[in-house]
Structure 1
Amino acid sequence: MNPDLRPLAEASASEPWYQPAGNEVELFEQCHAHQLAVMLKGPTGCGKTRFVEHMAWRLGRPLITIACHDDLAASDLIGRYLIQHDGTVWQDGPLTRAVRQGAICYLDEVVEARQDTVVVLHALTDHRRILPIDKTGENLQAAPGFQLVVSYNPGYQRMLKDLKPSTRQRFVAMDLDFPAAEHEANIVRHESGVDHATATGLVSLALRIRQLKDRGLSEVPSTRLLIAAATLSTCGIGLREACYAAIVSPLSDEPSMIDALRDLVDGTFI
């Protein structure tokens, strides 16, 4: 695991652009001010990570991002002893660094981590705000400004695994979704540089494809995929070809579904 440790001053001198869909910015700010952990729920590619980056910039806090996976152990978060030529030395993990620095610690797709790993977060999400480090005997008190933020995709995880109620109830949950069509078109245009008509067409295509959810299509096109297709089109790739590569192929390997999706592309961009 190579967690992304990015002090704000080094990571981004400019604001990570984010277009609010509701009151999520104000809600997050209040959670941060009152030391409440936050859970971001929403489909893949709807802007959860960008939202956290924007809020870290807005609040002036360092951001440490951890991509969770099946092999993520508690020691990957907390730290471990390393053997060196002159003995052993303790090395903090990314969660421990965030607690010491007063950073925002973002665990992306937290449900992918093992349950015994997720349990180490519990003492940080209530009034104690401590991180027990068993190997050093330290009960580390979270520095001012520390906040724990996790994300996951409820629709996808419900079929595979989910967070325990004892974990879920330690977070303020914020439901994020794909933006309204007009807002999503504005995001695609801003992030890729395409014209308004192209951005609107891509969003129209996405809305049509999203209607196929649970009808043979397990995942629907994210805003991220629309931006990828738009970006390719600005580089001289034909728009339909860009959609085949950036939207259709990532969504399915089933020949009949691919044909149906390509038909939707062709019908949208005649």
Structure 2
Amino acid sequence: MHNQTFMRTYSPRQEALARKAAQQRDNQSFENLASSDLLTQYRIKSEPYYRMVADEIELYEAAYSVRMPIMLKGPTGCGKTRFVEYMAWKLNKPLITVACNEDMTASDLIGRYLLDASGTRWQDGPLAVAARYGAICYLDEVVEARQDTIVAIHTLTDARRMLPLEKKGEVIEAHPDFQLVISYNPGYQSLMKDLKQSTKQRFGALDFDYPEHDIEAEIVAHESGINLDIAKKLVHIAERARNLKGHGLDEGLSTRMLIYAGSLIYKGVQPLAACRVALVRPITDDPDMRDALDSAVTTYF
């Protein structure tokens, strides 16, 4: 028998494919590490205090399980933002919050090219970061944003779940953990500042309002450090002020304002002075309305 000599055949294509596969693995590892580092700053480090009022926690968890976009509707200072922070902590997901305003453009939300010493580079906006790496993106007071900016979220809030970066020529397929949450105050709605039906119908909605008396007093006492009796007096004042909404006041006293007043009282400020600073003076400049609110304060303090 003749000995057969086997020779390895050099294949540039196979070598190139192997190098490409190795590079892809390295790039994926680097991207995972980079995304982990990037999202660390957006994680809620400790449990935010949130007092459940109804079934909002259960409903939100169900919505997140199917990645349904959620709209939170309610008056200023009633706990919408705290609720989102609590749910992000409970679900162990990073939370990227954007305070919307009328000057915010789609580029502010999605991203833009920046010029630095090395030339031009692309910088993802907060919405793109959330969609790319899997965070909850919270657009606070979304109706304050321009309509052309709001339209930019449409492709992320339907079955497509993608975000086109037209300036970059890239399409981001939303990460499986990504969810979009928006909030606004229906009390400030006008024909010029409202969400279009084409936007509203892409979201599930949760209604928020000021809690009932005992629950609100519990929240104020916990957050400010004052005792429950004083907290209940502050809530009584707020309830009287809220009855004046539409009759001289554009908005009632919020739970947030009560916590501010309670915090001042906890620090030793006299209750009358604390209420003037934190409740009465910020909400109105009308002398008669201030007198009416001052009278409500003196009734309980």
Deviation at 1:160, TM superposition (A): 5.2
- The runs of 4+ residues in structure 1 deviating greater than 4 Å are 6-11
Q: How does 1:87-102 map to 2 (within 5 A)?
A: 87-102=119-134
- Residue in structure 1 matched with residue 253 of structure 2 by the alignment: 221
Q: What SS is found at the alignment partner of 1:14?
A: coil
Deviation at 1:267, TM superposition (A): 1.1
Deviation at 1:86, TM superposition (A): 2.1
Deviation at 1:10, TM superposition (A): 6.5
8 A Cα contact 1:8 1:61, kept in partner: no
Give, in whole Å, the separation in 1 of the partners of 2:259 and 2:186.
Answer: 23
Deviations 1:58-90 (A, max 9, x none): 001000000000000000001110111221000
8 A Cα contact 1:8 1:63, kept in partner: no
- Residue in structure 2 matched with residue 125 of structure 1 by the alignment: 157
Q: Percent identity, please.
A: 56
Question: CA RMSD, aligned part only?
Answer: 1.3
- Residue in structure 2 matched with residue 51 of structure 1 by the alignment: 83
Query: Is the counterpart of residue 134 in structure 1 residue 166 in structure 2?
Result: yes
Deviations 1:123-170 (A, max 9, x none): 100111000110111110110110000000001123751101110100
8 A Cα contact 1:8 1:60, kept in partner: no
8 A Cα contact 1:8 1:57, kept in partner: no
Query: Is the counterpart of residue 79 in structure 1 residue 111 in structure 2?
Result: yes
Q: 1:57 to 1:94 in 2, by over 3 A?
A: same
- How many residues in Structure 1 have an aligned counterpart in Structure 2? 264
Q: 1:70 to 1:184 in 2, by over 3 A?
A: same
Give, in whole Å, the separation in 2 of the partners of 1:227 and 1:84.
Answer: 45
Give, in whole Å, the separation in 2 of the partners of 1:115 and 1:73.
Answer: 9
Deviations 1:182-233 (A, max 9, x none): 1000000110110010001000111111110100111110000000000000
When the two structures are superposed, what TM-score results if normalisation uses the length of structure 1?
A: 0.95
8 A Cα contact 2:114 2:121, kept in partner: yes
- Residue in structure 2 matched with residue 158 of structure 1 by the alignment: 190
- Residue in structure 2 matched with residue 259 of structure 1 by the alignment: 291
Give, in whole Å, the separation in 2 of the partners of 1:158 and 1:168.
Answer: 15
8 A Cα contact 1:41 1:173, kept in partner: yes
Q: 1:91 to 1:20 in 2, by over 3 A?
A: same
Q: 1:181 to 1:71 in 2, by over 3 A?
A: same
Deviation at 1:12, TM superposition (A): 3.5
Aligned residue among 272, 279, 291 for 1:240: 272
Q: What SS is found at the alignment partner of 2:175?
A: coil
Deviates more, 1:143-152 or 1:10-19: 10-19
**Structure whose CA Rg is larger:** 2
Give, in whole Å, the separation in 2 of the partners of 1:167 and 1:88.
Answer: 34
8 A Cα contact 2:42 2:94, kept in partner: no
Query: Is the counterpart of residue 68 in structure 1 residue 94 in structure 2?
Result: no
Q: What SS is found at the alignment partner of 2:76?
A: coil
8 A Cα contact 1:184 1:223, kept in partner: yes
- Residue in structure 2 matched with residue 40 of structure 1 by the alignment: 72
Deviation at 1:119, TM superposition (A): 0.3
Deviations 1:88-141 (A, max 9, x none): 000111110001111000000000000000001001001110001101111101
Q: What SS is found at the alignment partner of 1:167?
A: helix
- Residue in structure 1 matched with residue 55 of structure 2 by the alignment: 23
